[in-house]
Chains A and B, each alone.
Chain A
């Protein structure tokens, strides 16, 4: 395994992971690593296994074999909420917000693992719980400012436009102060303006927060612009990993995408 350019220790090592569903090999022996300050992109046609990798990382799926090390800990077999507490946050391909709650409550839920008081303090709402709520609310308000969500703060998220919901979901993940951020198709279904906004936020996150990220995305423009390295997948396998220009021109990658277009036409 070669080290990522200019990066020291890897925050994530994904090693020979295999996952299948009733005969479908969703992930078929994939290995990669993500550097401590890297924006790593995963591309590939529909059904290639990209989202499955995220689900393995966040503990939703348990792979048949392989090893996943995140920040020095083995993730496989760990429950999702434990993994979240270690500092892994994500967004979902199909928005998974808490639809009836307001933007603020969704973001506060993003901070859940940092808010430390017990059920008895919650009942009493004296000092401890109240102070914690106020302090974390201040952090959440910073995220509201950062993502320009001021006007939507008190709205239930189900009433918000799609592009804004995507942004709230990004905010919920950021609220966790993660050590690694996973973005599953952050600009899918967005119009040009919304896409540009989102790309700007992702750049800002990288520059201001210095946060390593894995981004799954079909929009090649965004991927080429933002990613440090790219892994291309097809049928559960990694077919090329490397710098954007290399991967884009890799013959197997071109074949995978052309094959998909031929199949579609």
Chain B
């Protein structure tokens, strides 16, 4: 079969008229999209030279969380398998990376392999391995049942992490996060040109871009279509030739790989891992990122993750404006309570009014400006 592949050109004044399949299949298939992404990239790479280290750290955490949110969106948003086990896979990644890169003579397990490329890949692969082990559950259970059983995974993990002190340092003690070294350069310590925060920011941003592009590729491929088919109608999917087992395993593997890498990066940025942090609340936060950002979209996952990560920063300013809100966790009305309530309200609000999440809000804004004043 021969497929004509002329260099795609857009017709003047008709930005959405595609002239070839190749163009239609491209990620950034229109000039406005390309320009917007380019502008965003320029801003993102310029930020570390504008903001202070503390803000950079927060943004970097947001990027790492975004990698994890994209991962959750692969299995839950694209493939429709609702899981509450995401915190478990984040933990696997964090501990794999920390153990590999840790000091061999330290208090906790360490192998001294501090090359980022090595421990990041290992974190992803070990988490993916556990994902593959868990996936068969999804071939037997659906919907809420799967969610409940994957929740069991989080409890199991919490218990093991608390008990296994050689690895985790134990509750209340914890251990150091992964040690990042790239090309002989210690990334979490200040260097000649950049601060540690700037270096980690740039590394995490590059990783996020790579992971986002890979996920978009997956979504537009036969794999992404098979995921959507399983999500929408699994019997019909199998009758047209989609192996449910194969694709559910694949979805869990890919999702956990992302979670593993995200976990490794998150605790590189914070520098410290407390075994009690991989709990249900963490899983729920990721669900919130996906729901608020946009189910089944990569850009939505990023928006949701940034939103949830930056939210506490905003609420913690509250006592300044509203004196009756306390920043002390034991006070009757404190910022932590407000945060929790806000998560809940936001999830309910988005589910009711904009199920497409922030992504949907963005599409609406875009369409509004596109037809303004009436360009058609």
Using a CB–CB distance below 8 Å, which chain A residues touch chain B?
A: 58-60, 79-81, 84-85, 89-90, 92, 96-101, 105, 108-110, 112-113, 115, 117, 119, 121-125, 129-130, 132-135, 137-139, 141, 172-173, 176
**Contact yes or no, A100 B225, CB < 8 A:** no
A134-B21, A137-B25 known; A90 vs B239 contact (CB < 8 Å): yes
| A117 to B283 CA separation, bound complex (whole angstroms) | 33
With A135-B1, A135-B3, A138-B3 already in contact, the answer to whether A89 and B240 are too (CB < 8 A) is yes
A100/B21 in contact, CB under 8 A:
no
- CB A223 to nearest CB in B, in angstroms, measures 24
Given A100-B228, A138-B1, A176 and B241 touching (CB < 8 A)? yes
> Closest CB-CB distance, A208 to chain B, in whole Å?
18
Residues from chain A with Cβ under 8 Å of B341 in the complex: none
Count A-B pairs with CB separation below 8 Å: 115
Give A210 Cβ to nearest chain B Cβ, in Å: 20
Complex contact B1–A98 (CB within 8 A):
no
* A16 CA to B218 CA, complexed, in Å: 45
The answer to whether A105 and B222 have CB atoms under 8 Å apart is: no
The chain B residue sitting closest to A134, CB to CB, is B3
Contact A96 B241 (CB under 8 A): no
Least CB distance, B269 to chain A, in whole angstroms: 25
- Name the one of A59, A90, A99, A122 contacting B222, with C-beta atoms under 8 angstroms: A122
| Interface 9-residue window, one of B98-106, B155-163, B229-237, B331-339 | B229-237
A141 (CB) vs chain B CBs: closest residue: B21
Judge if B254 is at the interface, Cβ distance under 8 Å. Answer: yes
Residues A84 and B240 in contact, CB atoms below 8 Å apart: yes
Give chain B nearest CB distance to A170 CB in angstroms: 13
B1: A residues at CB distance < 8 A: 135, 138-139
The digit string for B209-223, where 1 denotes a CB below 8 A from any CB of A, is 000001001101111
Chain B contact residues, CB within 8 Å of chain A: 1, 3, 5, 21-22, 25, 214, 217-218, 220-226, 228-229, 232-233, 235-244, 250, 254
Contacts of A135 in B (CB 8 A): 1, 3
Are the C-beta atoms of A122 and B223 separated by less than 8 Å?
A: yes
Which chain B residues border A138 with CB–CB below 8 Å?
1, 3, 21
Contact B3 A119 (CB under 8 A): no
With A81-B243, A110-B240 known as contacts, the answer to whether A96 contacts B235 (CB < 8 A) is yes
Contact B225 A112 (CB under 8 A): yes
Cβ contact of A109, chosen from B217, B218, B226, B250, cutoff 8 A: B226
In the assembled complex, which residues on chain A have CB atoms less than 8 Å from the CB atom of B229?
Answer: 98, 101, 109, 112
A81 touches B238 (CB 8 A): yes
* Complex Cα–Cα for A92 and B239 (A): 10
CB-defined contacts of A115 to chain B, threshold 8 Å: 222
A258 to chain B, nearest CB (A): 35
**Which one, A58, A101, A129, contacts B221 given CB within 8 A?**
A129
Considering the chains assembled together, what is the distance between the CA atoms of A121 and B214 in angstroms?
10
By Cβ-Cβ distance, the 6 closest A-B pairs, closest first, are A84-B241, A122-B221, A113-B241, A125-B217, A96-B236, A80-B238
Specify which of A58, A113, A125, A137 lies most central, judged by the most chain B CB atoms within 10 Å of its CB: A125
A123 touches B25 (CB 8 A): no
Q: Tell me the smallest distance from the CB of A265 to a CB of chain B, in Å.
A: 36
**CA A97 to CA B1, docked complex, whole Å:** 28
Distance of A80 Cα from B240 Cα, bound (Å): 8
- A119 and B254 form a contact (CB under 8 A): yes
